[in-house]
Structure 1
Amino acid sequence: MSAATPHLLELKGVHTHIGAYHILHGVDLAVPKGQLTMLLGRNGAGKTTTLRTIMGLWQASQGSIHFAGRDITRLHTPQIAGLNIAYVPENMGIFADLTVRENMLLAARQARSAAQMDEARLQWIFGLFPAVQKFWNHPAGKLSGGQKQMLAVSRAIVEPRELLIVDEPSKGLAPAIINNMIDAFDQLKQSGVTILLVEQNIHFAKRLGDAVAVMDNGRVVHAGRMADLAADEALQQSLLGLSL
């Protein structure tokens, strides 16, 4: 790990078994501090399993995971979340019967009531995602897919986080909402949050990514600058079977 590009998160030789299935086959992944790293790959490449293994939802059977220089490989999920890491799963994990406000309050660990939530931070989030403010007192289950995704990300950042991990934030969203999401992640990055994103939308990846890692068959098969991958159509074709 060089002093010039300190890695906030680093996976070395990570293997993950789920039951009888060997999903990750020695994943090496470095997430530079203060940057947005894209994790790309075809369906079934192991991207979601990598995120779940980082968060301790599935245990690595081999290898190591370090966050801010600390070995977190054997920590449990609540301990990992307590290190200022937020995770937005692909299914978003919204509590449908609770209001938007109640969903946000659950994630604000320092607050016992909505009045105790950081008002300046809430206003910043409302600026990123106006729908969260608009539907503040509505049941979260009544929101559209795009609005639920905005709530899921808002909930993850209701308190300052050092690392934000998000699984396919643009999945199923309309282009206008995707652009809104891109702007929000860009602002988050500018605020100093390190972000690791799994994404299938190549436009999204190209607009936002600083670094990129491409997975195939449970391994990272390419790592480098997103701009270099975006500029190299032959490499895109060989790694992803598509052009950006």
Structure 2
Amino acid sequence: MNANLLTLEGVHTHIGAYHILHGVDLAVARGQLTMLLGRNGAGKTTTLRTIMGLWQASKGHITFDNKDITASDTPQIAELNIAYVPENMGIFSDLTVKENMLLAARKASRASQMDEARLKWIFSLFPAVEKFWNHPAGKLSGGQKQMLAVARAIVEPRELLIVDEPSKGLAPAIINNMIDAFAQLKATGTTILLVEQNINFAKRLGDRVAVMDNGRVVHAGSMQALAEDEDLQKSLLGLAI
């Protein structure tokens, strides 16, 4: 079995006239949490959207579980048991929390058919999801919406979970709750690719790290090694953890 569940090799992405990714090489190790770091505008979100087929790679190869998905469209990629939580969370505001969850539960056509044990586990991770189960999702706070977005992505077991900046704009207490949730997900063996700006978040959770700059991965290695090297942090990110 390949040690890497997801690999990008020489991936370029153009959006209209703009050349955003310039040959991205990225490996996401199976069963680990890989952090994707970098300054604003480095190409992190574009990388995630290219993996998910929301933007098509203009050059290079994307491989998931030994299958080339470079030219696959988004529904085909989702069918491979990959879940994506975008930066804007993608919540359906007019639907209830329950209805948002049910939409993601492909094996259930009504709430009673959802995996009860898994729901109970999700409620333990994100109590607000249970508390506001029958409330319109649009009425939730920003932190509660982020909890719902992640809960919805894991309503069924996933091979790969891709999340874009889960701590953005959240209060410290909610960030700690989110860190605990991802730690539990890691313990189940779920492979996770996480874009994050909160360096403490990255330090506490990451197994591996890739740092992007100007549309390329300029550093890859262990998260611990980066966390312990202040000179490397400053040269790559302009700050120290």
Which TM-score band (shorter chain)?
Answer: over 0.9
Q: Deviations over 1:182-231 (max 9, x none)?
A: 00000001001000000000000000000000000000000000000000
SS of the aligned residue for 1:172 comes to coil
Q: CA deviation at 1:165?
A: 0.1
Q: Percent identity?
A: 83
Equivalences for 1:54-93 in 2 at 5 Å?
A: 54-93=51-90
Which residue of structure 1 lines up, in the alignment, with residue 44 of structure 2?
A: 47
- Is 1:18 aligned with 2:15? yes
Separation in structure 1 between the aligned mates of residue 183 and residue 159 of structure 2, nearest angstrom: 15
Q: CA deviation at 1:85?
A: 0.2
Q: CA deviation at 1:42?
A: 0.1
Letter in structure 1 aligned against 2:93: A
Letter in structure 1 aligned against 2:38: G
Identify which of 22, 35, 39 aligns with 1:38.
35
Letter in structure 2 aligned against 1:92: M
Equivalences for 1:125-144 in 2 at 5 Å?
A: 125-144=122-141
TM-score by length of 1: 0.98
4+ residue segments displaced more than 3 Å: none
Which residue of structure 1 lines up, in the alignment, with residue 173 of structure 2?
A: 176
Which residue of structure 1 lines up, in the alignment, with residue 236 of structure 2?
A: 239
SS of the aligned residue for 1:103 comes to helix
- Is 1:200 aligned with 2:197? yes
SS of the aligned residue for 2:235 comes to helix
When the two structures are aligned, how many residues end up with a matched partner?
241
Which residue of structure 1 lines up, in the alignment, with residue 210 of structure 2?
A: 213
Which residue of structure 1 lines up, in the alignment, with residue 143 of structure 2?
A: 146
Separation in structure 2 between the aligned mates of residue 51 and residue 60 of structure 1, nearest angstrom: 11
Separation in structure 2 between the aligned mates of residue 211 and residue 57 of structure 1, nearest angstrom: 25
- Is 1:123 aligned with 2:124? no
Separation in structure 2 between the aligned mates of residue 82 and residue 42 of structure 1, nearest angstrom: 32
Q: CA deviation at 1:24?
A: 0.1
Separation in structure 1 between the aligned mates of residue 50 and residue 109 of structure 2, nearest angstrom: 31
Q: CA deviation at 1:134?
A: 0.3
Q: Give the gaps of 5 or more residues in structure 2.
A: none
Q: Deviations over 1:146-170 (max 9, x none)?
A: 0000000000000110100000000
Q: Give the gaps of 5 or more residues in structure 1.
A: none
- Is 1:167 aligned with 2:171? no
Letter in structure 2 aligned against 1:119: E
Separation in structure 1 between the aligned mates of residue 71 and residue 215 of structure 2, nearest angstrom: 20
Alpha-carbon RMSD across the aligned residues, in angstroms, is: 0.7
Q: Deviations over 1:46-97 (max 9, x none)?
A: 0000000000000000000000000000000000000000000000000000
Identify which of 213, 218, 222 aligns with 2:219.
222
SS of the aligned residue for 1:161 comes to coil
Letter in structure 2 aligned against 1:106: L
TM-score by length of 2: 0.99
Letter in structure 1 aligned against 2:165: E
Letter in structure 2 aligned against 1:147: Q
